[in-house]
Amino acid sequence: MADCVFQRISKHSSARLIDEIPVLCVGYDLALRVEEVGFLRRSAFNPETGSIEVRRLKHKGQQDIYILELSGWCLEVLNRYLEARQVSDVIFPISTRTIQRRFRRRANAVGLSEDYTFHCLRHSKVTHIALKQFDEKGVVDELSLSKFAGHLRVETTRTYVHLATMHLAFGRRVPGAP
């Protein structure tokens, strides 16, 4: 996990990477683990509101079920994908290996290192949320972010909060500095 945390990329780079590829858009937007993509069901998705049932994998394969809401841009991508394909109840009827291959092809196309994996995309999303919350409110709701990410412990989420606050501190100009 630690390697992925330091492989976080900007929101702009994330947007170039996922480039309206439905499985990557949804994976990023919901901060999914690659194995969790296969649990997404059409019957548990509301195409009007974007709410979708997500089964988060926990310690030793235990699952917790969350209802999350897709961002507007991601909802549009997913609805176009579903309208164009006759899929059964499984939204993405492909293997995790195929998802990983598609991800790697796209990552190579935008020039990301081999170290940046699908799982790192999940870490980037969590860090982007922490950055946004900290920038807008000056604090991060660690408990909500931890629940969103499906972390067992809030301490795991604090890694992202720490990176977000460090990023903002180094990115801001100091008054009186050139």
Can you list the domains of the chain with their CATH numbers?
Answer: 2-171 (1.10.443.10)
pLDDT classification of 20: cutoffs 50, 70, 90? confident
Write out the H or E segment, with its range, that includes residue 71: none
For the whole model, what pTM was predicted? 0.81
- Tell me which residue of 145, 99, 98 sits closest to 123, measured CA to CA: 145
Distance CA 132, CA 10 (A): 12
Pick 120 or 26 by higher pLDDT: 26
Q: Is the pLDDT of residue 127 over 70?
A: yes
The token pair at 120 is: 């790192």
pLDDT for 164: 57
Among candidates 85, 86, 32, 77, which has minimal Cα distance to 50? 77
